[in-house]
Amino acid sequence: MDNEVSPILNRAVAILDCFNQDRPEIGVREAARLVGLSSSATGRLMASLRNLGILSQNSESKAYSLGPRVLTWAGVYTATLDLRKRALPFLEELYVSTNETISLYILQGSDRICVERLESAQTVRIVARIGRRLPLYAGSAGKVLLAFLPSDRLREILPSLKMEPLTPNTITDRSRLEHELVTIRKNGFAVSHGEWISDASGIAAAIFDQFNEPVGAISISGPTQRFTSRVIELFTPPLIHAAVEISRDMGYRGPFPPKFPE
């Protein structure tokens, strides 16, 4: 009995499934057609959902949209999609397998902010301070976040970047940065050598949400002398695996790396 679902509940869920980003509002007849019920039965169900606050009704058109109770539920669900909490087990796996500093960054404006880090136990290591604001144009995590932004947002952010030299290796030429972003989109990860700290290297991959947008980036960083091409080759598969798994937890269902929206 516990595994059975009420037919009425099934119908109510079918009606709720009619709403999406392309169809935020729907009338009774259209909903009835989509769910395969009579207009009278569909109208009664939609009226009941409205009375419960699950649907709202336009007083003029009489069409329905999702109601305030759904927004409350969505807020609770979104709160459970905490990036740091979902990412931490995978960051720990990377930390154990690489013995290097593992960091988690989020995008904020035209900067990136470190929200979690597992610091390497090795004597010579990279220290990433939680809460530190860093530029997007310098370093693997910043570049990978930039690379997978929607094109309209990227066009907004790129002109605002100061592109100041932080080290001799910092990319300060905008056209060169744009060219590198194309390579990052193709490869699915970014590499940097001494771009924001001299003699520090890193590789990073982006984390995507259900809207196919980058919500964070994981980086593996360490002294440049340890980050040979062979080491980067070895670190890349587990890095990509972690990014894919966290993205799946965040609701992303597309290919990896995603197709860049032109």
* Mean of all residue pLDDT scores within the chain: 90
Q: What is the pLDDT of residues 34-83, one digit of tens each?
A: 999 999 999 999 999 999 999 999 999 999 999 988 877 776 566 545 88
Q: Is residue 1 part of a domain?
A: no
Quote the CA–CA distance of 215 and 212 in Å, as a whole number.
9
Task: Classify residue 258: in a domain, yes or no.
Answer: no
In 3D, which of 166, 216, 156 has the Cα closest to residue 192? 166
CB burial class (10 A; 0-12, 13-18, 19+) of residue 121? exposed
| 59 within a domain of the structure (yes/no) | yes
Q: Angle, to 10 degrees, between the axis of helix 174-187 and the axis of helix 140-147?
A: 80
Residue where a domain stops, chosen among 78, 105, 126: 78
CA distance 19 to 15: 8
> Which residue range(s) make up the domain with 62?
7-78
pLDDT value of residue 2: 44
CATH number of the CATH domain containing 28: 1.10.10.10
pLDDT for 168 = 94
Least confident of 75-79, 98-102, 150-154, 191-195: 75-79
Instruction: Name residue, tokens 């030299």.
Output: 165
Would you say residue 261 has pLDDT above 60? Answer: no
In the predicted structure, residue 140 carries a pLDDT above the cut 90: yes
Cβ–Cβ contacts within 10 Å for residue 250, how many?
Answer: 19
pLDDT band at 15 (very low <50, low <70, confident <90, very high): very high
Same domain, 64 and 176: no
Global pTM?
A: 0.68
Asked whether the predicted pLDDT for residue 129 surpasses 70, the reply is yes
- Are residues 52 and 87 located together in one domain of the fold? no
pLDDT of 145 above 50: yes
Res. 1: pLDDT tops 60: no
Same domain, 59 and 124: no
pLDDT at 9 over 50: yes
Same domain as 90, residue 56: no
Structure tokens at 39: 């207009």
Question: Which residues, in sequence order, are bridge partners of residue 191?
Answer: 203
Please check whether residue 28 lies inside any domain of the structure: yes
Contact call for residues 65 and 25 (beta carbons, < 8 A): yes
What would the mean pLDDT of 90-106 be, rounded to a whole number?
A: 95
Single out the residue in 52, 78, 104 at which a domain terminates.
78
Average pLDDT (196-216) is 92
**Same structural domain for residues 180 and 230?**
yes
Task: Tell which wins on pLDDT, 142 or 74.
Answer: 142
57 and 104, same structural domain?
no
The count of structural domains within the chain is 2
